[in-house]
Amino acid sequence: MPTTDVAAEEASAPTLPVNGGEKRTFVRGMFSAIAPRYDLLNHLLSLSLDRWWRRRALRELRWERAPSGTYVDLCAGTLDVAAMLAKRAGFSGRVIGADFAEPMLRAGREKAPADVVAPVVADALELPLQNGAADGAIVAFGIRNVSDLDAALREMHRVLASGARFVILEFTTPRLRLVRALYHFYFHRVLPVVGGIISGHPLAYRYLPESVANFPAEEELGARMRAAGFSDVSWTSLTLGVAAIHVGAKS
């Protein structure tokens, strides 16, 4: 019998959307489907590093400058970051957890008091907030999923008050050759198999490494934040370049 033609199989596999309305529809459906196992898989597949990364990013928000203010957890998913902020000692404000996949928000609704965290079904490109209404915003592992990155950055800039900070926590591709090789093996070989089995949605965990590969490198993301109007843009690499935190402010 002839051997399997791997190249032909890969070529015939469904193509994952990169931008536009097709990506929006795919991402919303995918996250809605994996919502029940999302938290479990996040912690398992990241060896629980995701918890530390989120705490580290939250520090960059500097919410202490306006502890009773209004903050946005963009692409909030199961509200992990919103709940972390709500539970901070001294925080007396309100967190709007915005995500367009309602099942994700529903899966995290018990993580924080309803009078502190308000889940809102909303697209990152069209937030139901007035100009300058937010005292800060953060997005953790969600900005690469938007259908139009530049439009999302401009929308976030619109809803922030003057002086407010915008923090982005996102996966990146390591620069060190050995780390990059191990990273690619895990992301492209191990993660899709384990994630697919546990979630029951194999395509979702093939999308993850492809979405990271198609996302701008740190320097480009910083430049696009500046183009959207943010100032004092900087970034910090985490865990040998596996993830990065970008920070910008609205002047």
Average pLDDT on 139-156 reads: 97
Fold classified for 16-250: Rossmann fold (3.40.50)
User: Is residue 15 very low, low, confident or very high in pLDDT (cuts 50, 70, 90)?
Assistant: low
User: Residue 45 has what pLDDT?
Assistant: 86
Average pLDDT on 56-65 reads: 98
Residue 156 and residue 167: Cα distance in Å, rounded? Answer: 11
Percent of the chain whose predicted confidence (pLDDT) is above 70: 92
- How many Å is the maximal CA-CA distance in the chain? 69
| Tokens matching residue 234 | 């900087």
| Tokens matching residue 140 | 């953790």
Residue 151 and residue 124: Cα distance in Å, rounded? Answer: 9
| Tokens matching residue 169 | 């926590």
Average pLDDT on 41-49 reads: 89
User: Residue 47 has what pLDDT?
Assistant: 87
Residue 91 and residue 73: Cα distance in Å, rounded? Answer: 15
| Tokens matching residue 145 | 């999923």
Task: Indicate whether 90 pLDDT > 60.
Answer: yes
Checking 233-242 for CB contacts under 8 A at 24+ apart, the result is 237/172, 238/53, 238/56, 239/49, 239/53, 240/174, 240/176, 240/179, 241/172, 241/173, 241/174, 241/175, 241/176, 241/179, 241/180, 242/49, 242/171, 242/172, 242/174, 242/179, 242/183
If one compares 225 and 13, the residue with the highest pLDDT of the two is: 225
If one compares 18 and 227, the residue with the highest pLDDT of the two is: 227
| Percentages of the chain per state (helix, strand, coil), in multiples of 5 | 50, 20, 30
CB 218 within 8 A of CB 235: yes
Residue 37 and residue 43: Cα distance in Å, rounded? Answer: 10
Average pLDDT on 73-84 reads: 97
Buried b (16+ CB within 10 A) or exposed e, 159-176: bbeeebbbbbbbbbbbee
Mean pLDDT of the chain: 91
User: Residue 18 has what pLDDT?
Assistant: 63
Residue 66 and residue 17: Cα distance in Å, rounded? Answer: 39
Q: Domain segments of the chain: what residues?
A: 16-250
| Tokens matching residue 205 | 């965990």
CA-based angle 120:126:131, to the nearest 5? 95
Percent of the chain whose predicted confidence (pLDDT) is above 90: 83
103-130 residue pLDDT tens: 999 999 999 999 999 999 999 999 999 9
In this structure, of 3-7, 141-145, 195-199, the range with the lowest mean pLDDT score is 3-7
